[in-house]
Amino acid sequence: MKSAGCYWVYILQCDNNTYYTGYTSDLTRRYQEHLNGSSKCKYTRSFKPLCIAQSWQINGGKAVAMQIEIAIKKMKKKDKEKIILNPLLLAQTFPQAFISI
């Protein structure tokens, strides 16, 4: 799932009933790193991901993806669950940044 110049913001559901949020240019590779316990992600080494709960393909480069990741990380769990169930809610906050959901 890699496209030139585009990034993904994603939320993983972990085995301790929490969510992990990240961004990447290659969603498939990054998810595999989480599953394998890569040293790049200390959190998911301790709390294994069960699935990708939601992902968004981002237009606008790394800086925009990082901005969206930070916004999600600041959300309360119930708000993360809302955007997982209705991904368009996040797109409404950052309309210029979304390629696909």
The answer to which of 23-27, 47-51, 97-101 has the lowest mean pLDDT is: 97-101
pLDDT at 22 over 80: yes
Contact status, residue 36 vs residue 53, Cβ threshold 8 Å:
no
From 64, 93, 65, 62, select the one nearest 79 (Cα to Cα). 93
Q: Is 44 among the domain residues?
A: yes
CATH of the domain at 45: 3.40.1440
Asked if residue 1 is part of any domain, the answer here is: no
Q: What is the pLDDT of residue 43?
A: 93
Domain span including residue 96: 7-100
Report yes or no on 30 lying in a domain. yes
In a domain, 68, yes or no: yes
Is residue 27 included in any domain, yes or no?
A: yes
Residue written as tokens 């240019």? Answer: 25
Residues 6+ apart with CB under 8 A from 86: none
The SS3 call for residue 45 is helix
Residue 101 predicted with pLDDT over 70: no
Classify residue 81: in a domain, yes or no: yes
Total tally of structural domains belonging to the chain: 1
Segment 40-64, tens digit of pLDDT:
889 999 999 999 999 999 988 899 9
Does residue 69 fall inside a structural domain? yes
Percent of the chain with pLDDT over 70: 92
Residue 38 domain-assigned (yes or no)? yes
